[in-house]
């Protein structure tokens, strides 16, 4: 028999790593995306490997840090800053304080493989912690983009309050995301509006219905439009748009961006007494909005498989107005052009745009599509088949997949 037949086809666990500039401390994370399931959130679990002879009595600390940037960095003058950095979790990793820490499966594998100089750490996101969102900058913007970012910072110091040195510290950017519920529900969002005209009898009725309430990124949105013209005016054309609504809670600022649109004259003009029923299909994608400043993204900026930011969800019993950070929502907007004197008839139908939940068929399809899109950048297939006698762990350099970290 050939040697390769003895190899077991086992999908490896991919682990991200990053090392300090002096090479003495390395941090390992099992993933970069941590999911908020509404009733609980994935813990940030990792392992630190350190050269104990280098410490010489010093300690290793890890922090979970969030940065909320609500203004342009180039506008910061005379000491005024438009960002706020908060340490939302901190732990002394070396020497360990909590020796009875409950370990995750990834931590157990890493500790077994990396040896006695490996030490685990775990952080829990606070309740109501905002999701990772980045507002797309314009080409002329030079500073860091606005948004909410998270990172794991690890450093060597005499005590936790001592300022860390760049050569002995390392920062790994991570994301906190929300996924759709397991069931999309059966509700079909709809809106019915009418418009009357001065010195003219009758009205124009517009009804818009969506085929579902929750859509996944990359899915086609179907909006069924029914127009009944009982007036003396004519409808010249119909425009359908996907609107992304963004609220920056820190400064109570709100704005909207069109992330998909189309205009149709098919069946127009809709003359008095006539009606029209038509379904419009739209697909909101980040890659078709690369030149639009202020579009909310899910945290990535330097990768081609970027997504639009997901809709902001709140836990059951919580008020949507209590959401903090950058709040994102979506709606379908339909406009009827009734002529120069007739004006426009407009209605909005809200919906949710989210990632599929883990374990569903839709999630498998979503992951397959993302993998196909990024196949040229992430070549690790050669490591996906390993000998079953070895720990099936693939280490990938975190620096190569750095997100929003300064060079």
Residues carrying CATH 2.60.40.640, the chain = 190-354
Q: Which fold has domain 190-354?
A: Immunoglobulin-like (2.60.40)
**Max CA distance (Å), the chain:** 91
What is the per-residue pLDDT across 10-31, written as a single tens digit (0 to 9) for each? 456 778 899 999 999 999 998 8
What is the per-residue pLDDT across 55-104, written as a single tens digit (0 to 9) for each? 888 999 999 999 998 887 777 777 777 888 899 999 999 888 877 788 98
What is the per-residue pLDDT across 284-320, written as a single tens digit (0 to 9) for each? 998 889 888 999 998 764 555 678 999 998 877 676 6
Taking alpha carbons only, the member of 179, 174, 88 closest to residue 127 is: 88
Omega before residue 269 within 30° of 0, cis: yes
Q: Is 161 exposed, middle or buried (0-12, 13-18, 19+ CB in 10 A)?
A: exposed
**51 has pLDDT over 60:** yes
The answer to which of 133-137, 191-195, 349-353, 397-401 has the lowest mean pLDDT is 397-401
Structure confidence at residue 141 as a pLDDT band (50, 70, 90): confident
SS3 320: helix
Angle at 350 between CA 347 and CA 351, to 5 degrees: 145
Task: Give the pLDDT of residue 44.
Answer: 93
Q: How far is CA 353 from CA 258, 329, 356, 382, in A?
A: 14, 8, 10, 34
SS3 400: helix
Q: Are 185 and 44 in contact (CB under 8 A)?
A: no
Residues carrying CATH 2.60.40.840, the chain = 13-178+371-397
Average pLDDT over all residues of the chain: 82
Query: For residue 14, what are the β-bridge partners?
Result: 394
* For the chain, percent of residues with pLDDT exceeding 70: 82
Q: Is 83 exposed, middle or buried (0-12, 13-18, 19+ CB in 10 A)?
A: middle
* CATH 2.60.40.840 describes domain 13-178+371-397: yes
């Amino acid at each position: 028999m050939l040697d390769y037949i003895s190899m077991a086809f086992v999908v490896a666990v991919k682990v991200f790593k990053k090392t300090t500039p002096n090479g003495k401390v390395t941090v390992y994370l099992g993933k970069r995306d941590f999911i908020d399931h509404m009733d609980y959130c994935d813990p940030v679990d990792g392992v630190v490997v350190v050269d104990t002879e280098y410490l010489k009595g010093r300690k290793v600390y890890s922090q979970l840090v969030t940065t909320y940037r609500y203004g342009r960095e180039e506008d910061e003058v005379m000491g005024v800053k438009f960002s706020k950095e908060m340490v939302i979790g901190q732990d002394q990793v070396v020497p360990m304080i909590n020796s009875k820490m409950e370990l995750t499966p990834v931590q157990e594998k890493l500790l077994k493989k990396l040896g006695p100089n490996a030490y685990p750490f775990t952080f829990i996101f606070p309740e109501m912690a905002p999701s990772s969102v980045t507002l797309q900058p314009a080409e002329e913007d030079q500073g860091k983009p606005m948004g909410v970012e998270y990172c794991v910072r690890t450093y060597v110091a005499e005590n936790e309050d001592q300022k860390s040195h760049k050569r002995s510290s390392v920062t790994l950017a991570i994301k906190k995301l929300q996924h759709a519920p397991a069931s999309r529900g059966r509700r079909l969002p709809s809106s019915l509006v009418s418009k009357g005209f001065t010195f003219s009898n009758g009205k124009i009725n517009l009804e818009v219905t969506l085929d579902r309430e929750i859509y996944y990124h990359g899915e086609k949105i179907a909006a069924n439009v029914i127009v009944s013209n009982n007036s003396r005016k004519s409808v010249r054309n119909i425009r359908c748009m996907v609107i992304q609504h963004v609220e920056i809670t820190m400064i109570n600022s709100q704005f909207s961006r069109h992330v998909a649109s189309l205009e149709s004259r098919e069946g127009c003009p809709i003359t008095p007494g006539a009606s029209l029923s038509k379904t419009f299909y739209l697909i909101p994608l980040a890659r078709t909005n690369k030149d639009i400043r202020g579009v909310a993204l899910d945290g990535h900026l330097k990768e081609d498989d970027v997504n639009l930011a997901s809709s902001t969800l709140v836990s059951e019993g919580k008020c949507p107005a209590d959401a903090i950070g950058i709040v994102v929502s979506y709606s379908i907007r339909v406009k009827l052009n009734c002529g120069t004197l007739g004006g426009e008839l407009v209605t909005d139908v809200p919906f949710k745009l989210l990632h599929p939940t883990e374990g569903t068929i839709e999630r498998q399809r979503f992951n397959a599509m993302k993998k196909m899109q990024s196949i040229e950048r992430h070549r690790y297939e050669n490591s996906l088949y390993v000998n079953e006698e070895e720990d099936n762990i693939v280490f990938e350099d975190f620096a190569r997949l750095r997100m929003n970290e300064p060079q």
